[in-house]
Copies of this chain bind each other. A is one copy, B any other.
Amino acid sequence: MILAELARLIKADLIGQETADVSRVQPFENAGEGDVTLASDAGYLERISESQATAIIVSASVAGYRGNLLVARDAKLAFARAIAVLHKRDYQPIGVSGDVIVGEGTDLGNDLSIYPRVTVGREVIIGDRVTLQPGVVVGDRCHIGDDTILHANVTIYRDCEIGRRVVIHAGTVVGGDGFGFVPDENGHQVKLLQLGRVRIEDDCEIGANCAIDRGGFGDTVLRRGVKLDNLIQIGHNCEIGEDTVVAALAGFSGGTKVGRGCVVAGQVGTRQHVSIGDGATLTGKTAITKNVKAGAVVAGMPAQDYNAWRRSQVLYSKLPEMADRLKRLEKIVEDLIQASEKKS
């Protein structure tokens, strides 16, 4: 591909040769002839003249640099697009394996890639260009949207809806029962049957070995464009807002509502039925015990405003010093009192 074309596709301005050829993206250290790379921070910009790359994506033009630059306000975004343009392979259907097991009344779309060892239940609707890797199990009455990919050993329980262009990585379980029990007179746990479903909207991506429970009544919902990392727990009746990203090992208790465009870091946990406003940032390991406002940045156990938490955290590490100062003050004040008592 020539640079002028790449620039157009990644929405960057080209400073340099329009007809130079590029064929792949490489990290800064490795990029050479025919490669595009990224110089996103000061460290790389200082060393930009060392690069052998045919083109470098930057966020502003670089004085004195003679090579080809692709200038985009958000250089990392342009880089992500360049990788997609040069490395994403067109979908090629492999067809439907003779080994597939499909239940009655199930409707299969066109141009599928269904690998061996796939099991699909009854009255399922599978869209066009869907990929089901080996070991995938899809329960009765599920809908799987066009262009969706379920990786190996994914389990979808009955009655779930998966949108279009969704990717679910290996081992993830969608639609298991929510965790609802009530102790009876003898302390035995009586199950609250889980009658709801899971709905995963278009363009979501879900990592490996996650668990997304079905609703008790009503549905657990992942809105359009949600991105989940690995080993994430989504409890029953959670709703995760559009374009929200969640890092590994986070867990949302039943009924948690997360707004759109939130950033949830690793190992965060939430209490049941809390609401997180749009655009909030929950930093790593935070324990969310009450509602979080839109745009807030929170940290701690339980969560508080990030900056307030940071101040407390710094003082936490100074507690031994504070304790010493307190003790010294007590001694001094004691001496003062004794001195004043002697006088009087």
| A91 CB-CB contact with B under 8 Å | no
Asked whether, in the complex, the Cβ of B179 is within 8 Å of the Cβ of A227, the reply is: yes
What is the 8 Å Cβ interface bit string for chain A, positions 104-115, against chain B (1 contact, 0 not)?
000000000001
Which of A12-20, A48-56, A57-65, A211-219 is found at the contact surface with chain B? A211-219
* Contact assessment for A322 and B322 in the assembled complex, using a CB-CB cutoff below 8 Å: yes
Residues 273-288 of chain A, each 1 if its beta carbon lies under 8 Å from chain B, else 0: 0000000000011010
Q: Is A161 an interface residue (CB 8 A)?
A: no
Decide yes or no whether A23 CB sits under 8 A from chain B: no
Give the 6 A-B CB pairs with smallest separation, nearest first.
Answer: A211-B230, A155-B170, A173-B208, A233-B248, A119-B134, A315-B319
Residues of B within 8 A of A309 (CB): 317
- 1/0 contact trace for A86-102 toward B, CB 8 Å? 01100000000001010
The stretch of A75-83, A123-131, A290-298 in contact with B is A75-83
B153 touches A248 (CB 8 A): no
B245 touching A189, Cβ below 8 Å: yes
Chain B residues near A230: list those with CB within 8 A: 173, 176, 179, 211, 213, 233
Q: Kindly state the interface size class of chain A when it binds its partner.
A: 35 or more
Please tell me if A145 contacts chain B, counting CB pairs below 8 Å.
no
CB of A239 closer than 8 Å to a CB of B: no
CB proximity to B under 8 Å, residues A303-344: 304, 308-309, 311-313, 315-320, 322-323, 325-326, 329-330, 332-333, 336-337, 339-340
Residues of B within 8 A of A80 (CB): 180-182, 190-193
Min distance, Cβ A102 to any Cβ of chain B, angstroms:
10
Q: How far is the CA of A184 from the CA of B243 in the complex (A)?
A: 10
Q: Which of A134, A243, A269, A312 has the most CB of B within 10 A?
A: A134
Q: A248-B253, A333-B333 provided; 8 other pairs, C-beta below 8 A? A: A134-B137, A137-B170, A269-B285, A285-B287, A302-B313, A316-B319, A332-B333, A336-B336
- Minimum CB–CB distance from A87 to chain B (whole Å) comes to 5
Chain B residues, CB < 8 A from A137 = 117, 133-135, 152-153, 170
Asked, given contacts A176-B151, A209-B173, A337-B336, whether A323 binds B320 with beta carbons under 8 Å apart, the answer is no
Task: State A318–B230 Cα separation when bound (angstroms).
Answer: 36
Please state if B323 and A326 are interface contacts (CB–CB under 8 Å).
no
Q: Does A231 sit within 8 A of B, measured CB to CB?
A: yes
Interface CB pairs A-B, < 8 A, 12: A151-B176, A155-B171, A169-B211, A177-B207, A230-B233, A233-B266, A247-B253, A249-B269, A284-B287, A308-B320, A312-B319, A315-B320
Contacting pair A191 B205 (CB below 8 A):
yes
Say yes or no: A319-B329 contact (C-beta < 8 A), given A179-B248, A336-B340.
Answer: no
Q: Could you say which residues of chain B place their CB within 8 Å of the CB of A317?
A: 304, 308-309, 312
B312–A316 CB distance below 8 A: yes
Task: Enumerate chain B residues within 8 angstroms of A322, measured Cβ to Cβ.
Answer: 315, 322-323, 326
> Does A269 lie within 8 Å of B267, measured CB to CB?
yes
Verify if A235 is at the interface (C-beta below 8 Å from B): yes
- Interface assignment of A225: CB less than 8 Å from any CB of chain B: yes
Most chain B CB neighbours (cut-off 10 Å) among A179, A247, A302, A315: A179
Whether A83 and B195, one on each chain, are in contact in the complex, defined by CB atoms closer than 8 angstroms, is yes
| Residue interface bits A194-232, CB-to-B below 8 A is 1, else 0 | 010000000101011111010001100000010101110
